């Protein structure tokens, strides 16, 4: 029973970590990556659709993203979607492709991004702690209902704490990597 509780919480912790990594991938750190466009949605015949599903996204240079729509009619929609996004990039179109030039980050923008990274990492840690709380409550409930012994309950809670510690370290590692990438000039 305790093993099931721990296993289900660990799966959720893994998802929390993956979600954090995706969040970080979409943060602009002065280097061009196709994942910057992951959250940009294009109006494709009335349906919000991710950019990578209506166009080929490539990175020919470290500071440039090239978007080649599969349908020429999508050029205007792609430009609109990029301008509306919170990326702060201006699309340059030549009729067949859109080029996004990623500018150097200013010191202020780097500090802003670092704060955002810290905030997102802290949110992930809060999610992990909430999972620990839920698991501990479930374990205590089993003990209260006399389904498990007190020793098993204590051991289960200790194992849960070890799991949380492990994932908090992983969050810190991911955060440190992103901070390093942001502060890199």
Q: What is the pLDDT of residues 128-151, one digit of tens each?
A: 999 999 999 998 998 888 888 889
pLDDT at site 28: 64
Indicate whether 168 and 149 sit together in one domain.
yes
One domain for residues 110 and 177: yes
| CATH number, residue 10 | 1.10.132.20
Asked whether residue 13 falls in the same domain as residue 38, the answer is no
30 pLDDT band, cuts 50/70/90, is low
In DSSP notation, 73-92 reads GGHHHHHHHHHHSTT---EE
**Could you tell me which residue, 35 or 167, shows the higher pLDDT?**
167
| Structural domain that includes position 74 | 34-101
Give the pLDDT score at 29: 66
Say whether both 115 and 155 belong to one domain: yes
- Could you give the number of structural domains in the chain? 2
What percentage of the chain exceeds 90 in pLDDT? 32
Report the C-alpha gap between 144 and 18 in whole angstroms.
34
Token code pair at residue 11: 């799966």
Query: What pLDDT, on the 0 to 100 scale, is given for residue 74?
Result: 86
Q: Please, which pLDDT band fits residue 15 given cuts at 50, 70 and 90?
A: very high
Here the contacts of 71-75 (C-beta below 8 Å, separation 24 or greater) are 72/96, 74/42, 74/44
Residue 75's contacts (CB-CB under 8 Å, 6 or more residues apart) are: 69, 93, 95, 98
What is the predicted pLDDT for the residue at 62? 81
Confidence check: pLDDT of 25 > 80 = no
Q: d(Cα 156, Cα 22) in Å, to the nearest integer?
A: 31
75 and 134 in a common domain? no
Q: What would the pLDDT profile of 61-96 be if each residue is shown by its tens digit? A: 888 889 999 988 888 888 888 888 877 778 888 888
- Out of 45, 76, 101, a domain closes at 101
> Residue 152: exposed, middle, or buried by beta-carbon count in 10 A (0-12, 13-18, 19+)?
middle
Whose CA is closest to 175, among 128, 111, 124? 124
Q: What ranges in the chain are assigned the alpha helix state H?
A: 2-25, 75-84, 107-144, 150-183
* pTM recorded for the entire structure: 0.70
**Pair of tokens at residue 161:** 């704490």
Q: What is the pLDDT of residues 109-128, one digit of tens each?
A: 788 888 889 999 999 999 99
């Amino acid at each position: 029973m305790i093993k099931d509780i721990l296993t289900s919480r660990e799966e959720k912790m893994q998802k929390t970590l993956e979600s954090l990594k995706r969040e970080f991938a979409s943060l602009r750190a002065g280097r061009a990556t196709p994942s910057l466009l992951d959250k940009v949605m294009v109006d494709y015949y009335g349906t919000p659709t991710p950019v990578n599903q209506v166009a080929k996204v490539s990175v020919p240079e470290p500071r440039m993203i090239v978007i080649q729509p599969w349908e020429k009619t999508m050029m205007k929609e792609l430009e609109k979607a990029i301008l509306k996004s919170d990326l702060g990039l201006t699309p340059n179109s030549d009729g067949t492709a859109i080029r996004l030039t990623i500018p150097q980050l200013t010191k202020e923008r780097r500090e802003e991004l670092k704060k955002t990274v810290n905030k997102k990492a802290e949110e992930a840690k809060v999610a992990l702690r909430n999972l620990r709380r839920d698991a501990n409550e479930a374990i205590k409930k089993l003990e209260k209902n006399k389904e498990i012994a007190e020793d098993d309950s204590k051991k289960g809670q200790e194992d849960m704490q070890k799991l949380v510690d492990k994932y908090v370290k992983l969050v810190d590692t991911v955060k440190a990597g992103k901070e390093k990438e942001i502060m890199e000039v």
